[in-house]
Structure 1
Amino acid sequence: MATPKPIARLISHVILDLDGTLLNTDCVVSQVLKPFLVKNGKKWDSKKAHKLVGKTPYEAAAVVLEDYGLPYSTEEFLSMLTPMFNEQWCNIKALPGANRLIKHLKSNGVPAALASNSPRSNIEAKISCHQGWKESFSAIVGGDEVEKGKPSPDIFLEAAKRMNTNPPNCLVIEDSLPGVAAGKAAGMHVIAVPSVPKRTAEFSSADEVINSLLDVKPEKWGLPPFSDWIDDTLPIEPWFIGGPVIKGFGRGSKVLGIPTANLPAENFSDVLSEHTSGVYFGWAGLSTRGIYKMVMSIGWNPYFDNTEKTIEPWLLHDFGEDFYGEELRLVIVGYIRPEANFPSLESLIERIHEDARIAEKALNLPLYAKYKDSPYLRNSLKEDNSANGNQSVIDSK
C-alpha cells in the first residue's frame, strides 16, 4: 500500500463515500442483477462489475445495458431495477472498519460528511438501517443535489460548504477512481480504499492507498488516533467458519514450509465478500484432537499472484501427521495487518512467522483467550449442518 504524501496543514474534516467505502453494495448489485439478467436470457459476469464502481445510477445502468445488449432504454431499465434495489437497501452490510471509523470520528468531535453519487433518498434509506450513522454526519450530499456527479468535484465542494470549511481542510476516503479524481479536483487530500481487487496501482493520484478501513491511521493526517490496538492486534467482531479437512495440492505450504489449510473460495463466497483481505488470528478446533491457536490469511497472496481470493489458516501446533477427514472449526477474533507483497520469498516467510508470534502472544490475553471456550469449536459440524443445510469444506495442504 502507498504511504501518504506529506501534507502542508492538518486536516479538520472528513468526507466519506458510501457505496463500496462504508457499505458492501457489490453483493446487493449482483443479487438484483443476476436474476434480472437470467430472466432476459443473459448471464451475470462478475468480472464486469468493476465497470459500475463509482458511477451514478444512470451511468451504471447505461454500462449494464451496453455490456449485456439489453433491449431497454436507460430510463426503462432504471424504472424496472429501482424497486428491486429499494427492497434490498437494509440488507447491505457495513464493510469491515466502517462502524469503527464512524464512531471514532464522532466520539472525537471530528466533523464528517457523506458524499455519494447515489440520490439523496437512496443514501438516507441505506444509512437508516445502520444505528447511529445518520446522527454521525454533519452533512449528507447526494448526486441529485449537485450539477455533476463524480468525477466532477461538485459533491465534495458542496459537502465542504455545508460543513463550513475550506476544501484543503478536508480528507476524502473513497473506493473508486471517479471518487478519487473528484476529491483531488476539489483540492482535498484523498485516501483510496480500492474496492476492485488487485488494481491498487491505478490509484496513484491518491495521497494514500490502503487495503481497508481497518488500516486507516488518522494520526497521519493530524486527527486523533485509534486507541483500540492491543499488542499489534486489532480486536474484531468474531466470525465463525468450518468444515471437514480434505487433501489439497499444497503448493504454498511446500514452498513456504508452513502447513496451511486452504478454504476453497467456492465454498466461502459470502465470507470472502464480507471480509477484507489481510492477516487474522483466532482459535481452531479439530473434532478429535482439541483446540489450537491459529493465524490465517485472506486474499490473493500477491507474492504468488493468485487469481482467486483464498482463506489459508495455519494451526500453530506441530501435529506430526495429516488429519484428513476430521472436522475443523475456526473462530476469528482479531486482525494483524493488511495483505502485502514482499521483495523475496525469505522476507515473506519471515513476516508469516512474525504474524504467528504476534498471534501466539495475543491469544494469551483474556480478551482473545475467552473464545477458546466457544461452543462453536466443540459442537459437531454434522449437527450444525443438518440444522442449516450448509456444509463447508476445508482444503488442507
Structure 2
Amino acid sequence: MFKHIIFDCDGVLVDSEPLSMEVDRDILAENGIAMTLEEVGSQFIGLTFEAFVEKIESDYRIKLPRNVTEDKNRRLLALYERKLKAAPDIHDILALMALPMSVASNSPRHRVEAAFRIAGLSKFFGDRITTFEDVARGKPAPDVYLEAAKRARVTTGSCLVIEDSKAGVASAVAAGCHVIGFTGLAHDGAALGRSLSRLGARKVVNRHADLPAAIAAALRL
C-alpha cells in the first residue's frame, strides 16, 4: 500500500530541461566542444552537473574552468526568470493528490526552490525537497530516494515515484520504489519510454493529462 508520492522536479513538474541543455551546450561550445541540444540531452539529462563535468573532462581530456558550476547556476537562473514555465496542468494534477508528496531532485536545492517560486509550486511541497546535495551520491545511485523516504518516515516500498530520466528511474528502482515513467516533455518520448521501461518503470505515461489516472491505478495495486 502506497503512503507517499515522490516527484522528480526537472522535466516532470517544470519544463526546465531545455533551458539547462541550452546552457550546457553553450558552455561546451565555449570550451571547444560542439554538441547539439539533442546530443546534450541524450547524454546528460538526469545527471548532476558535477557528473556532467566529470564525464566531459574524462571523455575530452580537458579541464573546464574552475568556476563552471557557478557559471552554470548563474546562467540557468537567469533563463529561469525569463522563460521557465510549470509543466502543463501540473497545478491541477498536484491539487488532486490525496497522499503526502515530496520532491527528489538531482538539481541543487536553490535551483529547485527558484523553479518552484517562479512556477508557483512551492505551496504543494513546502520544504519537502531532497536533492543530491543531501546525500553521498546523486542519481542514478539510490541515495536521493532513500533519503526522501527516510524524511517522509515511510519505507521506499510504500513510495510511488514519478520520474522522467534514465538516471532517475534507475535511482528509484534501486531504492525499492514503484516507478511511473514520464516522457511528456521529452524530445523523443517513444525511445525514452522504452528505456525507462527497461530500467524498471512499471508504467510509462507520455502526457501530463494522463498522470492522474496512472497514479490512481497504481494506488489501487
TM superposition score normalised by structure 1: 0.48
The equivalent residue for 2:210 is 215
Change (3 A) 1:186 1:74: farther
Equivalence map 1:1-397=2 (5 Å): 10-40=1-31, 42-48=33-39, 49-64=41-56, 69=60, 71-73=62-64, 75-90=66-81, 91-105=83-97, 108=98, 110-131=99-120, 133-137=121-125, 139-194=128-183, 195=186, 197=188, 198-199=190-191, 200-204=193-197, 205-216=200-211, 217=213, 218-222=215-219
Alpha-carbon distance in structure 1 between the residues aligned to 2:65 and 2:161: 30
Larger Rg: 1
RMSD: 2.4
Query: Secondary structure of 1:72's partner?
Result: coil
Determine what percentage of the aligned residue pairs are the same residue.
Answer: 29
Structure with bigger RCO (C-alpha 8 Å, 6+ apart): 2
Alpha-carbon distance in structure 2 between the residues aligned to 1:143 and 1:64: 20
Residue 176 of structure 1, CA deviation: 0.8
Structure 2 gaps, min length 5: none
Alpha-carbon distance in structure 2 between the residues aligned to 1:59 and 1:19: 16
Query: Secondary structure of 1:128's partner?
Result: helix
Structure 1 gaps, min length 5: 1-9, 224-397
Alpha-carbon distance in structure 2 between the residues aligned to 1:96 and 1:64: 33
Alpha-carbon distance in structure 1 between the residues aligned to 2:174 and 2:217: 22
Alpha-carbon distance in structure 2 between the residues aligned to 1:167 and 1:41: 43
* Contact 1:173–1:192 (8 Å) recurs in 2: yes
Change (3 A) 1:169 1:35: closer
Change (3 A) 1:11 1:45: same
Equivalent position amino acid for 1:56 in 2: T
| CA offsets 1:99-132 (integer angstroms, 9 cap, x no match) | 2222222xx3x2000100111122111111122x
Higher strand share: 1
Alpha-carbon distance in structure 2 between the residues aligned to 1:206 and 1:93: 26
Query: Secondary structure of 1:87's partner?
Result: helix
TM superposition score normalised by structure 2: 0.83
Change (3 A) 1:206 1:34: closer
Alpha-carbon distance in structure 2 between the residues aligned to 1:52 and 1:89: 19
* Contact 1:18–1:115 (8 Å) recurs in 2: yes
Residue 62 of structure 1, CA deviation: 3.3
Q: Which runs of 4+ in 1 moved over 6 A?
A: none
